[in-house]
């Protein structure tokens, strides 16, 4: 599904990714762990098309050159990023934003767009699944949301857009245990043979709830070790220092 070969990225002449390789197949959950400054967020930004990076290497998504696509085209193809810091957008109603978003994607795929009633049904069901207070959806997008609400809102968007590849950028940071459980359930419900997840995290904690198929350790812009779920547990015990 996703293939990254020898990916290098610079921003303001500073090299962040230094030859990163990764393959993700449908049905897999990959976790990337790494210390601060190792390039985790850069990787998610590059996969979703944020501007401002000098990029070398090759990234294909379903055999298509991903790096050529605009951010919205990547969303249309089924890539989703749950932001580490979801942006507050004053004046934009959350419901209207969600409807605009899903209909933009449906339109790009040549599917029939949701009308108001279909959308309302969908959102009612999805927010109930995530124990998300619907009232919050009539507020301005992320404005005045607590940290946990913002993250849940990202997961709600993910579950509505139903992506092929979902990237979760430190979704667990700032979450209490209950919110962590809800977010994890959201991912586990969505998980199936046709989609994949890339979970970026500092801590092993989230991986108690979402069991990954693969764990990768990212350090200085490279994946220095890959393994199964037990790698995350080791890492938690030893810290990043001992991984060289």
Partner 1 sequence: MDSQIKIDFENFLNKENFSKSQIQLKKNNFNEFVKKGFPNKRIEDWKFSDLNQIIQTNIKKLNFISSDLKQEDFEITTIKDFEHNKIIFLNGKILKVDFSLEENDKIVIQQNHNINADHIENSLVSLNSAFVSDYVKFTVKKGYQAKKPLIFYNYLTTDIASSALNIRIDIDLEDGSSLNVVDLSNQNLNNNFINIRQNFHVGENAILKKYFLDTENSKNIKYIYNNLDLAKNSHLEYFILSSGSKFLKNDITCSLNNQYGSISLNGIINLDGEKHHEIKTVINHKDENCKSYQLIKSVLADQSKGVYQGKISVDNKAQKTDGYQLSRALLLNDQTEFNAKPELEIYADDVKCSHGSTSGNIDEDSIFYLMSRGLSYHQSKQLLVNAFLNEVLEKITDEKIKIFIKKLTGLTNEY
Over the window 68 to 97, marking each residue x when it contacts partner 1 by CB under 8 A and - when it does not, the resulting string is --xxx-xxx---xx-x--xx-xxxxx--xx
Q: Which residues contact 29 (CB under 8 A, 6 or more apart)?
A: 191, 196, 197, 199, 210, 211, 212, 213, 214
Under the binding rule (CB under 8 A), the answer on residue 135 touching partner 1 is no
Tell me the closest approach of the beta carbon of residue 228 to partner 1, in angstroms: 30
Minimal distance in Å, beta carbon 234 to partner 1?
A: 33
120, 161, 211, 224: residue in contact with partner 1 (rule CB under 8 A): 161
The number of helices, as runs of H, and strands, as runs of E, in the chain is 7, 12
CA angle 199, 204, 206 (to 5 degrees): 55
Taking the least distance from each CB to partner 1, the nearer of 80 and 132 is: 80
* Sign of the CA dihedral with 20 first, then 46, 182, and 177 last: positive
Q: Measured from the CB atom, is 65 or 72 closer to partner 1?
A: 72
Between CA 49 and CA 75 the distance in angstroms is: 10
Sign for the pseudo-dihedral over CA of 58, 172, 106, 191: positive
In the complex, the smallest distance separating the C-beta of residue 242 from partner 1, rounded to whole angstroms, is 35
The residue (of 85 and 243) whose beta carbon lies closer to partner 1 is 85
Q: How far is the CB of 114 from partner 1 (least distance, A)?
A: 12
Q: Return the number of the residue (49 or 221) whose C-beta is nearest partner 1.
A: 49
Cβ–Cβ < 8 Å for 33, 214: no
Determine the angle formed by the axes of helices 147-161 and 177-190, rounding to 10 degrees. 10
Minimum CB distance to partner 1, residue 89 (Å): 6
Using rule CB under 8 A, residue 101 touches partner 1: yes
Number of residues that bind partner 1 (CB under 8 A): 31
Among 13, 14, 36, 51, binds partner 1 (CB under 8 A): 51
Phi, psi of 211 (to 5 degrees): -80, 115
Positions touching partner 1 (CB under 8 A) are 48-51, 70-72, 74-76, 80-81, 83, 86-87, 89-93, 96-97, 100-105, 108, 157, 161
């Amino acid at each position: 599904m996703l293939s990254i070969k020898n990916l290098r990225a610079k921003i303001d002449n500073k090299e962040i990714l230094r030859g990163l390789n990764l393959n993700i197949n449908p049905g897999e959950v990959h976790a990337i762990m790494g210390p601060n400054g190792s390039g985790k967020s850069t990787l998610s930004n590059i996969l979703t098309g944020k501007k401002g990076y000098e990029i070398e290497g090759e990234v294909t998504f379903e055999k298509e050159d991903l790096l050529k696509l605009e951010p919205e085209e990547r969303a249309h193809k089924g890539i989703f990023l749950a932001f580490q810091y979801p942006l507050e957008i004053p004046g934009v109603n959350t419901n209207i934003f969600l409807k605009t978003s899903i209909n933009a994607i449906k339109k790009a795929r040549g599917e029939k767009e949701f009308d108001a009633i279909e959308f309302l049904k969908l959102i009612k069901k999805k927010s109930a699944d995530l124990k998300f207070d619907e009232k919050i959806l009539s507020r301005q997008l992320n404005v005045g949301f607590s940290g946990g609400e913002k993250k849940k809102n990202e997961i709600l968007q993910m579950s509505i857009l139903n992506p092929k590849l979902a990237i979760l950028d430190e979704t667990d940071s700032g979450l209490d245990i209950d919110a962590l459980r809800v977010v994890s359930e959201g991912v586990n419900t969505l998980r199936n043979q046709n989609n994949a997840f890339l979970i970026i995290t500092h801590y092993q904690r989230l991986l108690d709830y979402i069991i990954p198929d693969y764990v990768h350790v990212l350090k200085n812009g490279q994946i220095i070790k890959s393994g199964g779920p037990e790698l995350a547990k080791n890492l938690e015990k030893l810290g990043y220092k001992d991984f060289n």
